[in-house]
């Protein structure tokens, strides 16, 4: 029941970029050093964020990453989802056959509600909220 390290790193690097000069491009290895995140691993994280339209990325010399939107328009949910995929909370939600043999699937409708409100909570907070404290 934990956010993965990749998710935590993603939050950190997004907060850093969001707190700097707008439109400046940051190179991966620069971000790696500043945020203390292993370079290659950070590569995968930044790619996920770029694929989801949260970061802009540019290849080649003078390439790098920057935000595509204002920090006030980026929620924690988007960031976590970009690197970890959909939030599921339990196995039954993944595979509807899983609970077939188990006693009571009211459980899973309750867990669904809990998951939904967890997601709502993650959507409440934006990068800006974090940057401004």
Partner DNA sequence: TTTAATTAAGACTATTATGGTCTTAATTAA
Partner DNA sequence: TTAATTAAGACCATAATAGTCTTAATTAAA
40, interface contact from a copy of itself, DNA, none, CB < 5-8 Å by kind:
DNA
In whole angstroms, how close is the CB of 58 to a copy of itself at the nearest point? 22
47, interface contact from a copy of itself, DNA, none, CB < 5-8 Å by kind:
DNA
Q: Which residues pair with 57 in a beta bridge?
A: 65
36, interface contact from DNA, a copy of itself, none, CB < 5-8 Å by kind:
a copy of itself
Q: How far apart are CA 113 and CA 118, in angstroms?
A: 9
Instruction: Indicate the length of the chain as a whole number.
Output: 133
Which span sits near a copy of itself by CB under 8 A: 7-15, 43-51, 53-61, 66-74?
A: 7-15
Site for a copy of itself contains 25 (CB under 8 A): no
Site for a copy of itself contains 16 (CB under 8 A): yes
Residues lying near a copy of itself in the complex (CB under 8 A) = 1-5, 7-8, 11-13, 15-16, 19, 34-36, 76, 80, 84, 87-92, 101-104, 106-107, 110-111, 114, 117-118, 121-122, 125, 129-131, 133
């Amino acid at each position: 029941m934990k956010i993965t390290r990749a998710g935590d790193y993603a939050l950190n690097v997004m907060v850093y970029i969001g707190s700097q000069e707008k439109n400046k491009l940051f190179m991966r290895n620069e971000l790696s050093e500043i945020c203390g995140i292993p370079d290659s691993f950070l590569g995968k994280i930044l790619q996920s964020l770029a694929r989801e339209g949260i970061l802009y990325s540019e290849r080649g010399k003078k390439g790098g990453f920057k935000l595509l939107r204002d920090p006030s328009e980026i929620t924690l949910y988007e960031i976590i989802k970009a690197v970890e995929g959909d939030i599921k909370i339990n196995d039954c939600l993944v595979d509807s056959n899983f609970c077939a043999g188990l006693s009571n699937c009211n459980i899973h409708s309750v867990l669904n509600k809990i998951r939904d409100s967890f997601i709502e909570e993650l959507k409440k907070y934006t990068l800006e909220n974090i940057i401004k404290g």
